[in-house]
């Protein structure tokens, strides 16, 4: 299942899984299976984000091999999500 996934597909699948769980009309067994799927997808997404972060750090290295870490604040760049109040969290 995870071999054929890319970030965008996994994110859509996680969103769909969460929507199904939020409806609340599933049996306990179905809910547990979906929850397990959601956890696996969330772990996959976290790993993909960590890989991307490492690539960005490599790209930001200066000539001496030093990475100058800078804090990214979405509010400063005008990219705050008005529906989310700037807080990003997983629904589980």
Q: Which domain CATH number covers 9?
A: 1.10.287
The answer to whether position 70 is within a domain reads: no
- Per-residue pLDDT tens digits for 17-47: 999 999 999 999 999 999 999 999 999 999 9
Instruction: Return d(Cα 71, Cα 86) in angstroms, integer.
Output: 15
Query: Does 20 fall in a domain?
Result: yes
Based on the structure, what is the number of domains in the chain?
1
Q: Is residue 80 part of a domain?
A: no
Q: Is the pLDDT of residue 66 over 60?
A: yes
DSSP of 21-51: HHH--S-HHHHHHHHHHHHHHHHHHHHHHHH
Mean pLDDT of 50-69: 79
Give dist(CA 28, CA 37) in Å, integer: 14
Cα gap 34→80, rounded to integer Å: 30
Specify the pLDDT at position 61: 76
- The pTM score is 0.63
Instruction: Let me know if residue 18 belongs to a domain.
Output: yes
The answer, yes or no, to whether residue 64 has pLDDT greater than 60, is: yes
What average pLDDT score do residues 66-81 get?
55
């Amino acid at each position: 299942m995870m071999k054929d996934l890319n970030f965008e597909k996994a994110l859509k699948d996680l969103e769909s899984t969460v929507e199904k769980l939020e409806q609340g009309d599933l049996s306990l067994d179905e809910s547990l299976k979906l929850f397990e799927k959601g956890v696996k997808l969330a772990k996959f997404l976290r790993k993909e984000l960590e890989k991307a972060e490492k690539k960005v750090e490599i790209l930001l290295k200066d000539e001496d091999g030093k990475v100058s870490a800078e804090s990214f604040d979405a509010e400063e760049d005008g990219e705050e999500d008005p529906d989310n109040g700037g807080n990003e969290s997983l629904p589980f």
